[in-house]
Amino acid sequence: MIVFAGPAAPVVADDGYRLWLSYRLIEDASVAKKYKATLQTLVIEKDSPTLTLAQKELEQAVAGLLGTKLIAGKTPGPGTLLLGTPKHSPLIAALHLETTLETLGDEGFLITNTSVKGKPGIVIAANTDVGVLYGTFHFIRLLQTQQSLQSLSVVSAPKIKRRILNHWDNLDRTVERGYAGFSLWDWHKLPDYIDPRYSDYARANASVGINGTVLTNVNANAQILTEPYLKKVAVLANLFRPYGIKVYLTARFSAPVEIGGLRTADPLDPDVKNWWKKKIDEIYTYIPDFGGFCIKANSEGQPGPQNYNRTHADGANLFADILAPHEGIVMWRAFVYSNEVAEDRAKQAYTEFKPLDGKFKSNALVQVKNGPIDFQPREPFHPLFGAMPNTPLMVEFQLTQEYLGFATHLVYMAPLFKECLDADTYAKGKGSLVSKVVDGSLDHHNLTAIAGVANIGNDRNWCGHPFAQANWYVYGRLAWDHELSSEALADEWIRMTFSNQPAVIAPIKTMMLASREIVVQYMTPLGLHHIMGYSHHYGPGPWIKDKPRADWTSVYYHQADSLGVGFDRTASGSDALSQYAKEVQDLYSPLAHCPDKYLLWFHHLPWSYKMRSGESLWDALCHAYYNGADSAAWMQRQWNAVEHQVDEEQFQHVKNLLAIQHQEAVWWRNACVLYFQSFSKMPLPVGLEKPEGTLKYYESLEFPFAPGIRPKW
């Protein structure tokens, strides 16, 4: 944990390590004066590892923000801040908060002004110590964002129970689709050396309510299930436990063969069941609160139950049955597609999983990506949401920017997350939002979960790009409460990370909120998708074709020819729209209704097609690409406006990355416009500059050492 020396400490450059928990000294004297009068005495009547963390966090925050010291003890005094649970704090029990607390479960909390032994004070109360810790971080957030501490009435509980980060980390410390260095987990040095970053990682997650971490890649290595590695995992689990974080692992379906010596991994084979029972029982001897497994099976070459003519439900239930007595869960990923199946890839997960609705055990969830293809800059919501009412579904988002320019592009992803969560499936009429599927309220499921593919590595600033930290932050906040807005979360993060000054907040917030749409414009406008470089996914590659699998090529998705461009998913094409409710079909199938942002996702249209704007499809496509690149330059100007008002090291870091982003936005624009022009044979709209270079030049570029894929040395 970072330790602050107090107000006399010298000012040091902010390298981003402290994330949104930097606790900079509050410069507004009037705000600081009110806080100092209110926060003088800290009372915690129970000792526990979790409450000790809460105490240290408050002491650290007050020292950093106010330059003063909280007096900790068991007796109320002036400006009392009281923490605890009614069960272990007589002072809190005397406040009679039970009616409110009983609605908040094991993780919720309340913060309110009260009288403690006749003296005005503030109480942070919960049913558990972990709830108190969450309430502590929320209270500190109020201080960081300079909110009033008068008339406090905060009552908060998570809408989703399992709020999980998925690390695609390999045992050799490479990270699949990772752009912030190598893996945090130094397996070679564990269990004997515990890197201090592990505690800081847990602290950051707890601060936004993340309560689970899958340590290993979904393309799993069975060695993680062996005794030497379980001893290493146990050390991390012990460290994370006081922060309310459970450890999960990925399980390789063929582990009974690879490390167990069996001849089969058939999920219905008694020997296989017995092997997994012994293995899972062994895991719980090392990690008593082990969360369970995330499993990728029969996808992209991974082994699975279909190898033995069994179903996904057969595979998931093998693990669910054995995990159930331990209160563990299995998260079975629905990311499946086959090159041998002559069907639109966007349809295949629905085709495989819809018939299995209701056949999964109660502690098994189906983990579904936000869209039907693969974490594209923009996708409609996945058709499985709303289609499996008898099975708990969890949404999987990708924080790491595999398709969003890697960690050199500034892309604030809250609008992307919200676009999915707020989408209406119409499964049970209007208002059947994806978020209500995920939080269990639509279909009355008690087991609920959400997953985010982590963007974290061992870079000093954790995420590579300072602004990528915001995506970690907002994922946790939305996992706790999906009704929060992108605007409110951006405001919070800016205030906690950079400044509370309006002159700083306004330009940064405007830039952040626009950034996702900007990247869509210069990469995949009007519903285009999957046109990035092959394998490494770096840069534009709309020309990609003739690969081992058609569905790994770009031409499969954009289907550009001399007549037009786009993928027809209406009844006249692949009919993928039929997998959605009628109201969704009615929105996207008729051209008169289909929004421009999904136009080429659902329709193949002539280059001369007349848009609502009155311009041709070709002109609209060109203008989108050029507007995107121009907007990347606008982002540079927005950032330059806060020079000398934010930390200089952070400013220069972001400035340099924005320059790269603009260069690459122009690259995307030029390459894509030249490629599609080779089919449209139409001139650029009047006023647009001719792209530099030739299409042949852009097609010739190669990037064998692009980050994010495992080296083949």
**Which active-site residues does the annotation give?**
300, 374, 402
| Number of neighbouring beta carbons within 10 Å of residue 261 | 8
Q: Which two tokens stand for residue 267?
A: 């999920």
Beta bridge partners of 605: 565
**Peptide bond connecting 392 to the previous residue in cis, omega within 30 degrees of 0:** no
Q: What amino acid occupies position 114?
A: T
Give the integer Cα–Cα distance in Å for 118 and 500: 34
Strand partners, 331: 294, 365
CA dihedral of residues 217, 220, 223, 224 (deg, nearest 10): 40
Structure tokens that stand for 127 in this block: 């049913």
DSSP string, 591-610: TTTS-GGGHHHH--EETTPB
Count other Cβ atoms within 10 Å, centred on residue 278.
12
CB 166 within 8 A of CB 160: no
Q: Is 121 helix (H, G, I), strand (E, B) or coil?
A: strand
Q: Which of 227, 295, 223, 291 is nearest to 258 (CA)?
A: 223
Phi, psi (deg, nearest 5) at residue 164: -120, 140
Q: Is 460 in contact with 466 (CB distance < 8 Å)?
A: no
**Angstrom distance (rounded) from CA 501 to CA 494:** 10
Whole-number Å distance between alpha carbons of 551 and 699: 19
Rounded Cα–Cα distance for residues 559 and 548 (Å) = 18
C-alpha 104/C-alpha 131 separation (Å) is 9
Q: If we measure between CA atoms, which residue out of 312, 302, 392, 295 comes closest to residue 348? A: 312
Structure tokens belonging to residue 128: 């558990």
The CA distance from 320 to 391, in Å, is 13
- Report how far residue 575's alpha carbon sits from residue 604's, in angstroms, rounded to the nearest whole number: 13
- Give the whole-angstrom CA distance, residue 427 versus residue 388: 10
Amino acid at 360: F
Tokens standing for 182?
Answer: 């190598």
In 3D, which of 171, 323, 336, 188 has the Cα closest to residue 248?
323
**Secondary-structure percent of the chain, ordered helix, strand, coil, rounded to 5:** 40, 10, 45
φ/ψ of residue 28, rounded to 5? -75, 110
**What is residue 649's three-state secondary structure?**
helix
Pair 553, 694: CB distance under 8 Å: no
Q: What is the rounded CA–CA span in Å between residue 319 and residue 322?
A: 5
* Three-state secondary-structure class, residue 125: strand
Whole-number Cα distances in Å, 52 to 45, 111, 135, 332 = 11, 19, 14, 36
Which residues does 274 contact at the CB level (< 8 Å), separation at least 6? none
SS (H, E, C) 146-160: CCCCCCCEEEECCCC
Q: Helix (H, G, I), strand (E, B), or coil: what is residue 629?
A: helix
